[in-house]
Chain A
Amino acid sequence: MNNAINQPQTILVLGGNSDIARAIVAELSSPALKTVVLACRDAASADTSGFANDVEIATITFDATKHALHASMIEEVAAEHGDLDVVIQAFGQLGLDVADDPVAAANLVTVNYAGAVSSGLAVAAQLRKQGHGTLVVLSSVAGVRTRASNFVYGSTKAGQDAFATGLGHSLHGSGANVMTVRPGFVRSSMTKGMQEAPFTIDVSDVAKAVANGLKKGSSVVWAPAKLRGVFALLKFAPDFVWRKLDS
């Protein structure tokens, strides 16, 4: 249960080694935080270092593509650690080279989109049962309007984003919430070596935006916030302009 100043006691991270998710956990840390559960493809690969000393760090195996196991995994975590106050859906792959490889592209969809739907529904069932809790979905501006350079990834994010906002509507009145986070280009281990885009930010900036959004009860958070306005315009930019911006 969150306390009265919106500090969670239990956080589950789906994609436990995600830089952004770990920065969010750091931002949400307080004496109230009891347990962080890191769900990774292989529990043993979870990096349990770098968290506050008095917080219990637990790990669990979570494969985004093994959809049949998602519901039982969430139930297991809740049975072991109690109510989930915040769940961060942070797994995903960039899939930079998939445009010429239909199988790899479909696999990316299985991880980024199908995995998000399956695990998102499993989390939603648990939060609904609790009557409280927030699922934080790390979407991306890449899904707001897809680009030639990463349109497969963008399309998975578009799907995930549409799923998340719709899930939020479906949970209205249940006490459970969904917060969809749309970061721009974020400096992290996932984007290392890539050319930075305008409005590039650090993981800590995303974390602050998320913490602020949770405090306010936002359903959508853009990071940085000005991307909301930028994309309100870019969404309607003519195709030739959009292609030029991507080149």
Chain B
Amino acid sequence: MELNNEVIINNLVKRFDEIVAVNEVSLEVPAGSIFGLLGPNGAGKSTTLRLLCTLLRPDSGTASVAGHDILEEPVNVRECTGVLPEEGSHTLYPSLTSYENLEYFAKLYDVPEEEAKKRIEDLLKFMDLWERRNDPAGELSTGNRQRLALCRALLHNPSVLLLDEPTSSLDPIAAKRVRELILKLAKQYGQTFFINSHNLAEVQRLCDYIAIIDEGKILLSGRTDELRRRLQSKQVFKLRVADNIETAKSIAEGLDFIFDVSIESDSLMLTILDPVSNNSVLIRKLLNANIAIIELAEEEMTLEDLYLQVIKEEEQ
């Protein structure tokens, strides 16, 4: 089945003087999915998001959001996207009340008055901000402001949501609620989410698709479950031996399917390629050398390991 892509990016390039912030980025985000763009600070995540919401013009390449070209139809793109900018909690009008902030944007997004009233009430209640509706946004806590900024992004019921670090500055309970909201919106209303995040655990929990970006380049992209499978082919094991740990280390280093051998307290940490076939070879070699094995256990690998591994490979 061919998936309908809501966000399509083709060789997008954005330079700031000498710095190439986004370097020939190509991505596809299927409709109704949650996509996570991971990367360290300055990797090009926010610039990519700003290009998609037409705040910046690319130097070359193309992109479309909800079927609209970002260069040819920027107004249409803005109509069907909801944006939570970086540090969203600082992007509200501090002197306007929570309600007035949303009311102002509802007018700019052409939401009919009655519908706007209902949506504002629903969103403020959902985010536990209804009691604070008459408080100036500048008097709210950072977490409440972040939630209010998220309400603003959802106000006009956009088909694509572009969220830059949506749960940063939220307490764990509020962050959990936001994640639940994202999952609910994606499942029930088919809204597509493009999320920039540093929070790997969050991305792992939320996203159907992931891409890792560094120095403006996409290093890796794909379905989250596929990337997880990729992790299975190369896993980290913890080997505990009764004695002769140095001998065990030199044996492990001599095997071509083992990488990154290191000693951590009384154990050896080994990255083993295709462990299902190769672990028995390792065990045999150790036993032949009269090394008593206490434990050979698989270390649980997360996307964080993959992320660090990809960044490390790129640096090398």
Whether chain B is bound by chain A comes out as: no
Using a CB–CB cutoff of 8 Å, the interface residues on chain A facing chain B are none
Q: A-contacting residues of B (Cβ < 8 Å)?
A: none
